[in-house]
Structure 1
Amino acid sequence: MKKSFISILLILSFYSCTRNKVPEGILDEDKMVSMLIDIHLAEGLVATFPIHYDSSRALYPLFEKEVFAKHQIPDSVFINSLAYYMRDAKMMDRIYARTIDSLHVVEKSGDQ
């Protein structure tokens, strides 16, 4: 009985360790948060331009490319990473909570 309990405990601990690892080709959480911050800042910047919505929709991809270039990440890696994190609501909630907190800090530092 004791051996089976220890075996189950070892299997569960191994499973939990491998589950937390991010697969190859997926951005880690810190990099994902950093990317999301810059993407939302780019969206906000484009939204402040005094142009029509259609024009801003054409302009935004240029800003988005700059974000990918800044982080040296292809857009496909970002899209795959976003899809990966969206499969786990708790993880995505944590990532967006960090993103929003960081955006609040940026907003407050710009107010001063």
Structure 2
Amino acid sequence: MKRILALLLFLIPLVSCDRNSPPPGILSEDEMVNVLIDIQLTEGIVSTLPIAYDSSHVLYSLLEKDVFEKHAVQDSVFTKSLLFYLEDAAKMDRIYSRVIDSLSAHESIPRDSLDLF
């Protein structure tokens, strides 16, 4: 009986959850990377337009909604996920490293073949 109990106490933590997977309601690292890439591209597009700051802020808000729709993510889920990942510097660093790598690769693509949205 003691062996069974000891075995259960040992196995339960191993199968209870995957430490690398986020809790429910949080975007996966891959999803965060994809959304952040599009957000960074959107910010870049808006910042290069010759319009007033107030107008660019309104335009960015509209385009940001398009990004969330494209990825089927609610802005509240994105914000909650961002706060979750900001609590772990290593995870956030890994996410942003992937974002930067993707943006660098995106930058090397000729402008004629870009499909932003």
Same fold? TM cut 0.5: yes
* Structure 1 SS opposite 2:22: coil
Q: Which runs of 5+ in 1 are unaligned?
A: 1-6
Q: Tell me how many residue pairs correspond in the alignment.
A: 105
Cross-structure match for 1:3: none
Alignment of 1:1-112 (within 5 A): 10=10, 14=14, 18-110=18-110
Sequence identity of aligned pairs in percent?
Answer: 54
Larger helix proportion of the pair? 1
* Structure 2 SS opposite 1:51: coil
Q: C-alpha displacement at 1:53, in angstroms?
A: 1.6
Q: Distance in 2 between matches of 1:37 and 1:21?
A: 21
Runs of 4+ in 1 over 3 A off after TM superposition: none
Q: TM-score, normalised by structure 2?
A: 0.79
User: 2:21, 2:28 within 8 Å by CA — same for their partners in 1?
Assistant: no
Q: Distance in 1 between matches of 2:86 and 2:110?
A: 30
Q: TM-score, normalised by structure 1?
A: 0.82
Q: Distance in 2 between matches of 1:33 and 1:89?
A: 15
Q: Distance in 2 between matches of 1:72 and 1:111?
A: 26
1:39-61, CA deviations, whole angstroms, 9 ceiling, x for partnerless residues? 00000000111012222112110
Q: C-alpha displacement at 1:18, in angstroms?
A: 3.6
Q: Distance in 1 between matches of 2:60 and 2:82?
A: 19
Q: Which runs of 5+ in 2 are unaligned?
A: 1-6, 113-117
* RMSD (Å) for aligned C-alpha atoms: 2.4
